[in-house]
Amino acid sequence: MPIVVKNLTHIYMPGTPFQSVALQDVNWTIEDGEFWGLIGHTGSGKSTLIQHLNGLLKPTSGEVIIDGVNINERGVNLREIRQKVGLVFQYPEHQLFEETVEKDVAFGPKNMDLPEEEIGRRVREALELVGLNYSEIKDRSPFELSGGQMRRVAIAGVLAMKPKVLILDEPTVGLDPRGRDEILREIVRLRERQNITVILVSHSMEDIAKLVDKIAVMHRGRMVDSGTPREIFRNYEGLSSIGLDIPQITHLMLRLKHQGKDVSTEVLTVEEAEAEILRAARRKGRA
């Protein structure tokens, strides 16, 4: 189920003194099963862009084609599109509203008019996918859970619709390190098990470098770059000129290189760095 974005431009409040161009001529193709990271400074248009991917916003000009369906066409079934493309907003726990966790997670599937047993099965499955114990948590109020648990319940609410593409807008913001690692681990596991396409919006270059296959970089409403993490993070000057950074560990390798050490700077994780430094040390020892 590929998503194709063609020459997408979006203007907020056109024709008023508050008019602002949020997206300008964005082109992007997302193939099945890819894991994308979307990075960019605050206000670069990331949120506007992802809201086009499930038809919450319509392009001012240009096209968004989801699974062969152009969302601009008249009579498009947006509900169906939103079921295929699950979108988890920032702070998704703010959208919880039901009396029990079970009912809240069931909201999405219920809107799809599924039979009762199917809804029940999906709720159980979704809660277990995000690492919660179904029978323990299903009858509790979502408002008495911890922050991390609330967020997982909210993510489960989207997963229960069995989307083929999952978009997560800063899923780890405001969580403690443990909660963050758990959520990210579950996203990876989810992708392995269900083989879905994932788009992760994040400010953490470490998380992005560790997880994704491809990165798209947004700056002032334009997509200025896209490619593999290695390609993207090679361009340190370019990234820092638009207010973005490279992973800390890549910084370290750059510093070592500057000091004259013979190491590769195309390193994105601590594990890779360890191997690379050991290799360099061994080479030196031999010489």
Partner 1 sequence: MREITIGQYIPGNSVIHRLDPRTKILITFAFMVLLFVIDDFTGYAFPAVFIIVASLLSGISLKYMIRGLRPLVVIILLTFVLNLFMIKGRVIYEVGPLDITYEGLHQGVFMVLRLVMLIVGTSLLTLTTSPITLTDGIESLLKPFSRVGVPAHELAMMMTIALRFIPTLMEETDKIMKAQMARGADFSSGNIVKRAKSLVPLLVPLFISAFRRADDLAMAMESRCYRGGENRTRMKQLRMTYADLVAFIATGLLAAGSLASRFIW
Q: Using CB under 8 A, list all residues that contact partner 1.
A: 13, 16-17, 51, 54, 56, 79, 82-83, 86-87, 89, 92, 94-97, 107-108, 111-112, 143, 157-158, 161
Residues 58, 61, 67, 71, CA torsion sign:
positive
CB of 17 to partner 1, least distance (A): 5
CB of 77 to partner 1, least distance (A): 11
The nearer residue to partner 1, 24 or 48, going by C-beta atoms, is 48
The nearer residue to partner 1, 17 or 68, going by C-beta atoms, is 17
CB of 47 to partner 1, least distance (A): 10
Distance, CA of 256 to CA of 242 (rounded, Å) = 24
The CA-based angle 246-36-161, given to 5 degrees, is: 140
- CA dihedral 249→255→257→260, nearest 10 degrees, is -150
The nearer residue to partner 1, 114 or 208, going by C-beta atoms, is 114
The CA-based angle 23-33-113, given to 5 degrees, is: 85
CB of 45 to partner 1, least distance (A): 16
Q: How far is CA 164 from the centre of its chain?
A: 14
The nearer residue to partner 1, 97 or 278, going by C-beta atoms, is 97
**Token representation of residue 116:** 């009762």
